[in-house]
Amino acid sequence: MTPKDMMAVDSNAEELGISKSALMENAGKSVADHIIDILDPCKIVIFAGTGGNGGDGFVATRHLLNNGYNVELCFIGRSDRIKSHETIQNWTAIQNINSGLNSLKIKIIEDSSSLKKVTAPVIVDALLGTGVKGKLREPISSAIDIINKSEGIKIAVDVPSGLDPLTGEVQDKAVEADFTLTFHEIKDGLKKAAVRYVGNVILYDIGIPKEAEIFLGKGDLLRLKKRDMTSHKGNNGRVLVIGGSRDYSGAPTLAAHAAFKSGVDLVHVACPQSVALPIRSYSPDFIVHTLSEEIIVEDDVDKIVELSKNVDSVVIGCGMGRDAETATALNEIVGEIKKPMIIDADGLKLLYNDILNEIKNEVIVTPHSAEFKALFGLDVPEELKDKMEIISKTSNENKCVVLLKGALDIISNGEKTRLNKTGNPGMTVGGTGDCLAGLTGGLMAKGHDAFEAACLGAYINGKAGDMASVKYEYHFTATDMMKYIDDAFR
């Protein structure tokens, strides 16, 4: 589990009704319980920082005091720099119980000159946890030196301070712990780090349910790629939408518009001549490439493949129609294009059964239950666990990401499976699936892998629909819904 995964899960747990305060309480109590298990009441020195890791240290302090331990709390930093509500809450509690009726001693250390050697059977590192970035600043740096020079048992909370929780590397210096007490799942960095730093890694359950990892939530928005402030046109993604036919100009238009809403820089649309003008008329932002007269045919393949070389992702199928000539063209296109691709709508109906296994680049398919059966020859079971199993198995066998659309979306890459419950019955209106395809294609163009793009696309598209329903109830169009994509991202 990466640090970003852990932050997302924390936030998703909160959305499920499990507060961050409860998680901090459970984490801090786990630290105290570990100490109680290995040593009778004695002196404990806890080094705590201003972040969530420090909050865990404050909680541990309370529980140790309740069990007869003498606790010296060294708070490194300034209390006005504590940002987390939960950490502030527990810092306030620590100050309130510092009444002289217990053994608590608090030292507030704002600069390294105030740091002194400590002597105690146990030293607790609750300084940084997953918050380390680059070279350490004072007084944190000197505090780590003091912890390492102390002779007591050294216990790191979640991750030894100074150790990169993703890579396990130490760029400057890090606490050399005898025990690392980590929570929910072992972080990737702890698995890769030298034993010198992490010691004996012990995992504690702090009450995060598995649903916080399976159901998509607002925490997953932390995974969104951030725009580089020095970037220029094209650096933030270029999408090619391939679709449209004599009767369908709206579907590729909606997909292209949604792709822009994802935050990409450029959106190209390759479409038949019969719908090129209405698509151009919809927005001057689209770069429209005219193909054959009424439908996409085999003669268009070379031009489309050439266009794909200058984009970062491809969305194909929206409004393509179901002509036999178009089917031939589509299967040649998906076989030749070498970019991440999302196949949607008519594209799913035209796709040859065995072609997915031949595609070397990342592919997302977005069927509903009927399209899933037509594409893979399989019925979707009624029971959720059975649904998840068949979607995962199908994804693995066909080497693609499957996003099964429904009242509860199921997304799988064959290894991981996520569920999305955003969305509402108003989204049965035509065009919302085209929005999902364009939005997801845009997220792939911005650098998300296929699985992550499908997960984020499903969540954000559904959230936009939920926001639209607040104003329109179930009387909204895909265009109405699209107005709320910006808010859904936030």
Each residue's pLDDT tens digit, 379-410: 999 999 999 999 999 999 999 999 999 999 99
Tell me: is residue 243 an annotated ligand-binding position. no
The answer to whether 54 is a known ligand-binding residue is: yes
Q: Is-contact 75 51, C-beta < 8 A?
A: no
Is 20 annotated among the ligand-binding residues? no
Residues 6+ apart with CB under 8 A from 240: 267, 268, 269, 270, 304, 307, 308, 311, 313, 314, 315, 339
- Known binding residue 17? Answer is no
Query: How is residue 300 written in tokens?
Result: 């268009």
- Contact by Cβ (8 Å): 360, 376: no
Does the pLDDT at position 135 exceed 90?
A: no
Give residue 360's pLDDT.
86
The pLDDT assigned to 131 comes to 64
326 known ligand binder: no
Task: Give the model's pLDDT for residue 378.
Answer: 95
Q: CB neighbours of 167 closer than 8 A, spacing ≥ 6?
A: 188, 189, 192
Q: Is 68 marked as binding a ligand?
A: no
Amino acid at site 151: E
Token digits of residue 45: 């020195």
Total residues found in the chain within this entry: 490
Mean per-residue pLDDT over the chain, rounded = 96
Distance CA 483, CA 479 (A): 7
pLDDT over 70, % of the chain: 100
Mean pLDDT for 289-311 is 97
Locate 201 and state its tokens.
Answer: 């890694």
Asked if 132 contacts 140 with a C-beta cutoff of 8 angstroms, the reply is no
Q: What digits encode the pLDDT tens for the residues 313-361?
A: 999 999 999 999 999 999 999 999 999 999 999 999 999 988 998 898 9
**Residue 226, marked binder:** no
Answering whether pTM is above 0.85, one says: yes
Q: Average pLDDT in the 103-129 region? A: 93
pLDDT higher for 132 or 296?
296
pLDDT digits (tens, 9 = 90+) for 181-222: 999 999 999 999 999 999 999 999 999 999 999 999 999 999
Give the model's confidence band at 440: pLDDT under 50 very low, under 70 low, under 90 confident, else very high. very high
Residue 55, annotated as binding a ligand: yes
Cα distances (angstroms) measured from residue 44 to each of 35, 142, 296 = 9, 19, 74
Strand residues in 372-482 grouped as ranges (E) = 401-404, 409-412, 417-420
Judge whether residue 132 has pLDDT over 90: no
Q: How many CA atoms lie within 13 A of 163 on its CB side?
A: 29
